[in-house]
Amino acid sequence: MAAPRRIVITGGSSGLGLALARACVRRGDHVALLARDPVKLERAAEELRLLRSTARVAVSATDVQNPAGLQQAFEQIAKALGGIDILVNSAGVLREGYFETLPLRVHREVMDINYFGTLNTIHAALPHLKQSAQPRIVNIASIAGLTGVFGYSAYCASKHALVGLSEVLRYELAPQGITVQLVCPPEFDSPMVDELDRTRTPENREHTLTIPKVAVEVIVAEVLRALDHRQFLTVPGRLARLTSLGLRHFPAISRFIGDTRVRKAYVGPTL
């Protein structure tokens, strides 16, 4: 078994964060899960302890919007795991809707969790990561951080901001030996998407069909491979990768495809 790494996963109680935690525990790593709901956290931790009884599994019920709470949480986690080597920022929320009808407080909420929440977490983790021999930060953004998507005015903005932060931190932290990595997954099945499916606009549904869903297992495998290779940007899934190349090199074609899809489904807001 490979040498155990000490990994903190925000959003580790659900979806991609939990799937990553399972893979890391199977690999022999020690993990700490950080999210808000203590019941979900404990359930996830129990499952991980059953996977490998020798794994150190810690939990912290902390909101990433609370910098003081995060500072305390990282001190406790570092004690429980005996240090921190890797921080995976997967905590996030998704709110979809027409820009004109999405309440302004929702824009702030999404930005506060997805962008400032990740920033707060990195701030709190840095002093601990600096004591590791091979420190890493992995930010889970989205392919919605590389393009615009109908209905995602709040979500896309928060993920674009996170992509920008990751690009800057990559330069700023590399001289200190800290590797920053960025993951931009396409849509995958998770509780987040189950909730979205209940209310999403028809235009969003049609536009997001441009990029096929990827299985969460594929994302986990590609994140683990990226960790091994210290790759900066990972866009999991072959078609999503092709799409991201199209977005970068042929933006006019990508917009034409998006416009055609949106026109086909357009209903618009009821004001």
Task: Return the active site residues.
Answer: 155
Binding-site member from 120, 132, 142, 204 for ligand NAP (CB under 6 A): 142
Helix, coil or strand: residue 33: strand
Query: CA dihedral in degrees (108, 110, 116, 119; nearest 10)?
Result: -170
Dihedral sign from CA coordinates of 141, 146, 149, 153:
positive
* Choices 166-174, 186-194, 197-205, 222-230; region in contact with ligand NAP by CB under 6 A: 186-194
Closer Cβ to ligand NAP, 142 or 254, answer by number: 142
Q: Return the amino acid letter for 128.
A: H
Crossing angle of helices 238-249 and 251-265, rounded to 10°: 110
Closer Cβ to ligand NAP, 109 or 202, answer by number: 109
158 HSE (CA, 13 A, CB side): 26
For residue 35, which phi and psi values (nearest 5 degrees)? -165, -175
Token digits of residue 208: 């997001």
Binding status of residue 226 toward ligand NAP by CB under 6 A: no
- In angstroms, give the least distance from the CB of 270 to ligand NAP: 27
Q: Are 227 and 240 in contact (CB under 8 A)?
A: no
Residues 2-31 that bind ligand NAP (CB under 6 A): 10-11, 13-17
Closer Cβ to ligand NAP, 91 or 173, answer by number: 91
CA angle 72, 66, 113 (to 5 degrees): 130
Token digits of residue 266: 């357009």
Closer Cβ to ligand NAP, 28 or 193, answer by number: 193
Q: What is the DSSP string of 10-24?
A: ETTTSHHHHHHHHHH
Residues 38-77 that bind ligand NAP (CB under 6 A): 40, 63-65
Closer Cβ to ligand NAP, 220 or 262, answer by number: 220
Binding-site member from 191, 212, 251, 268 for ligand NAP (CB under 6 A): 191
* Choices 48-56, 85-93, 235-243, 248-256; region in contact with ligand NAP by CB under 6 A: 85-93
Token digits of residue 206: 């049609």
Binding-site member from 24, 31, 85, 117 for ligand NAP (CB under 6 A): 117
Interface residues with ligand NAP (CB under 6 A)? Answer: 10-11, 13-17, 35-37, 40, 63-65, 90-94, 113, 117, 140, 142, 185, 187-188, 190-193
